[in-house]
Structure 1
Amino acid sequence: MTTPVHSQASPDPIAGIGLILALGVTQVAGYGALYYAFAVLAPEITKSFGWAPEWTYGGFALGLLAGGFAAPLAGRLIDIYGTRRMMSIGCVLASLSLFALSKAEGLISYYAAMIALEVVSTLVLYDAAFTALTQAHGANARRAISKLTLIGGFASTLFWPLTTALLAEADWRAIYQIYAMGYLLLALPLHALLLPRGLSMHAAKPSRPTDATAAGGYLAGASRRRAFVLLAVAFSLQGFVVSAMSVHMLALLQGFGFSAALAVTFGAMVGPSQVTGRLIEMLFGTNVPPVTTAWVSGALMPLGFVLLVFGGGTAAFAGLFAIAYGVSMGLSSIVRGTVPLQLFGPAGYGAMLGKLSAPGLAIRAAAPLAFAVMMERAGLSASAAVLVALSGVAALALLLLARAATTEG
């Protein structure tokens, strides 16, 4: 039986800006190739196979579902074996999955490749990267997480236009092959050479407290369970909204009367807005509790949708929607890493992130297909109202969490 890598108690000397930059590059490439490219390539995939769009998005949904099931196991493996080993393995498997997707010849091979892609993504995207920073910095990883998400916010901004440009010169299969090779050549050396060799003592082994508050001020017992439920609800509902919008944002904006060119312009504003939100948090949020950042970011999302719905097709309100939504997304990525660290501590951090991802797996997986059907059958207004309601409930859950954490703190 392999012994867990708990031996390195001192931080790796590369655990500063070099580690953040390395992870930032691999997160931009990973999210771009494994996630954002699909939004651009999905219509071409549908046309290539000659089936209804539901089959294309159904494969994506099934992959997300499988990835959700795999997330807790991926988190435990990262806790046990360390991020250097598991993220290196993950990027090799992700590249192979991209190549397999490019070679899919029918429904079964397409669905198998999409499932494999989303399962191995759990070893290389944000949850794994946040764990790498926590293994390097322990309970002081908040600022490093903020810096990482600041870089990662450029993924959609870079890969949507890049994929669109490549599509003018090559088909979707060739593009996925380019991304498979590029991701492997870029990510594998960075993961294999620069990530922490093992675990800090802080991340080595989760404690089993029975009191309301564990040693170090972290939640335990009933307080821990309530916080977990509120976080899981918020992350799941926001996950539905973000998953749906990652595929259907341009269609939604065009449904409100904007031209394709304007819709792309507003969609392109989301990426810089994410980066702006993360930059503000990094510069000015050091003394703000992560749970406060959580409910503020949560509140911005429904506010943005309300501006879009009641803006009457006005470009200014659509622009404000893109900004509010983007800032909310940017902050929520930080929240996903920092709030569990604040409330539950660095012990067993990877497994905790995996468990938080699992409850909403079906919700997030169903979002692209469900929202497509919703827009077609129920109409634009009803679909937008669902986005307002779900993001509003998520914001309320985060507000309740912040109030409870303040009271218990």
Structure 2
Amino acid sequence: MSADRLPIGAVLGLGVTQIIGYGTLYYSFSILAPDMARDFGLSVEWMFGALSVALLIGGLVSPSLGQWIDQIGAGRVMTVGSLVSAMALVACALSPNRPSFVVSLIVVEVAANFVQYGAAFALLVQIAANVAQRSITYLTLIAGFASTIFWPFTTALHGWLSWQQVFLVFAAMNALVCMPIHLCLAISMRQPLIATVSSVAKAVAGSIPPERRRLGFALMVFGFSLQALVGSAVLVHMVPLLSALGLGAAAALVGTFFGPAQVGGRLVNMLLGRDMPPPMLALISAGLMTMSVVVLATSAPSMIGAMTFAVLFGCGNGLFSIVSGTLPLFLFGSDGYGRLQGKVMATRLIVSAIAPVAFALAMGSVGAEVSLMLIATCGGFGVVMFCTVISVGRR
């Protein structure tokens, strides 16, 4: 495949696998958690605590994953990841006790890193680095429908099946749909693996000079971490947070604006912002998410303010998914992209695992409004980090 040609087939195939990957390995958990907790004699909070531990361990594995992507290719990594994901889901469904379930859940979340955005972005870079920024934008637009599809799909499926049977269905989807697609993409890279990786590594050079790469990378990772903190803390607690601010039953309605706004932000970027440099897009994304939290904290319990928050937050979070793939490529090039993505994923997952627990403790001690302003302050520091990244890149 020419490095200048958009790999439409790869984008569409990965779009399918990302929807299934995020839907079966992440979004479905909140729907099935109450029945899991009941069957194991645990609280729902305990189940989400187990998920946080699994995400944390997954984050610790991510740097090694990035090295494997560079060494053997993202297509092969994603193929293995689909198989392991399916086996781990089967193990969860057949777990006879709590310890075996927790171990299986940890394997699920570790395997999820092998098949979700970080690996998919790296595969697009390895297939055609010159157009990878466009490919990533299109992919995130398609994958943005994962929650929209899998929340109602899981709910409907669970109406007919037990959570164990639902997990078995999800395992079949990973093994029979995702794994063949990933295998085909791995095989389609016809050149020898070492030649393939080295050739695309020369296709895109980073915008930051070698002597400032360490500083630029630290600033970028710090900015991503702060943005992940804002996103995960608010997303996990969105409905109870809105209820605590006085919106009551309208909280669930406001939450429905988030998904369309997330896809809408990506669509606007695809149509109007395709020439915008990723550092500027990162700044806009962080700014929208921070602004949305400030709007919510200062306008509650206004329904208009809450809807404005959901739209701004959704747009910013939708752009964040794009930026997390395009900014490392823009700043540091395609050489060692998998390793860089592994480090970025590690920090994001670790922060995403800790932030919801910390935010819940903050709301319990100082209230929702003060907690939101603390989150907004973190988001503001994230904006400063991306401003500094832009400054470092221009010198």
TM over 0.5: yes
Alpha-carbon distance in structure 1 between the residues aligned to 2:178 and 2:20: 8
Alpha-carbon distance in structure 2 between the residues aligned to 1:388 and 1:106: 41
1:211-290 mapped onto 2 (5 Å cutoff): 216=205, 218-260=207-249, 262-290=250-278
> Cα offset for 1:259?
3.6
> Cα offset for 1:353?
0.6
Secondary structure of the residue that 1:287 maps to in structure 2? Answer: coil
Picking from 291, 314, 319, the partner of 2:302 is 314
Picking from 287, 297, 311, the partner of 1:323 is 311
Q: Does the Cα contact within 8 Å between 1:206 and 1:348 map onto a contact in 2?
A: no
Quote the residue 2:140 is aligned against: 149
Counterpart residue identity of residue 88, structure 2: S
Quote the residue 2:320 is aligned against: 332
1:9-408 mapped onto 2 (5 Å cutoff): 11=2, 16-195=7-186, 196-197=188-189, 203-204=197-198, 216=205, 218-260=207-249, 262-405=250-393, 407-408=394-395
Secondary structure of the residue that 1:141 maps to in structure 2? Answer: helix
Q: Does the Cα contact within 8 Å between 1:203 and 1:348 map onto a contact in 2?
A: no
Q: 1:205 to 1:159 in 2, by over 3 A?
A: same
> Cα offset for 1:345?
0.3
Residues 45-80 of structure 1 deviation map (CA, whole Å, 9 limit, x = unaligned): 333322234421221111111111111111111111
Secondary structure of the residue that 2:114 maps to in structure 1? Answer: coil
Secondary structure of the residue that 1:358 maps to in structure 2? Answer: helix
Q: TM-score, normalised by structure 1?
A: 0.88
Alpha-carbon distance in structure 1 between the residues aligned to 2:215 and 2:34: 42
Q: 1:172 to 1:368 in 2, by over 3 A?
A: farther
Alpha-carbon distance in structure 1 between the residues aligned to 2:366 and 2:199: 49
Q: 1:159 to 1:216 in 2, by over 3 A?
A: closer
Q: Which runs of 5+ in 1 are unaligned?
A: 1-9, 209-214
Q: Does the Cα contact within 8 Å between 2:208 and 2:392 map onto a contact in 1?
A: no
Alpha-carbon distance in structure 1 between the residues aligned to 2:31 and 2:65: 28
Q: Which runs of 5+ in 2 are unaligned?
A: none
Counterpart residue identity of residue 367, structure 2: G
The Cα RMSD (Å) is 2.5
Q: 1:45 to 1:150 in 2, by over 3 A?
A: same
Alpha-carbon distance in structure 2 between the residues aligned to 1:13 and 1:346: 14
Q: 1:313 to 1:170 in 2, by over 3 A?
A: farther
Q: TM-score, normalised by structure 2?
A: 0.91
> Cα offset for 1:245?
3.4
Q: 1:200 to 1:80 in 2, by over 3 A?
A: closer
Q: 1:375 to 1:104 in 2, by over 3 A?
A: farther
Q: Does the Cα contact within 8 Å between 1:14 and 1:194 map onto a contact in 2?
A: no
Q: 1:269 to 1:227 in 2, by over 3 A?
A: same
Q: Which moved further from structure 2: 288-297 or 170-179? A: 170-179
Q: 1:383 to 1:180 in 2, by over 3 A?
A: farther
Q: Does the Cα contact within 8 Å between 1:241 and 1:391 map onto a contact in 2?
A: yes
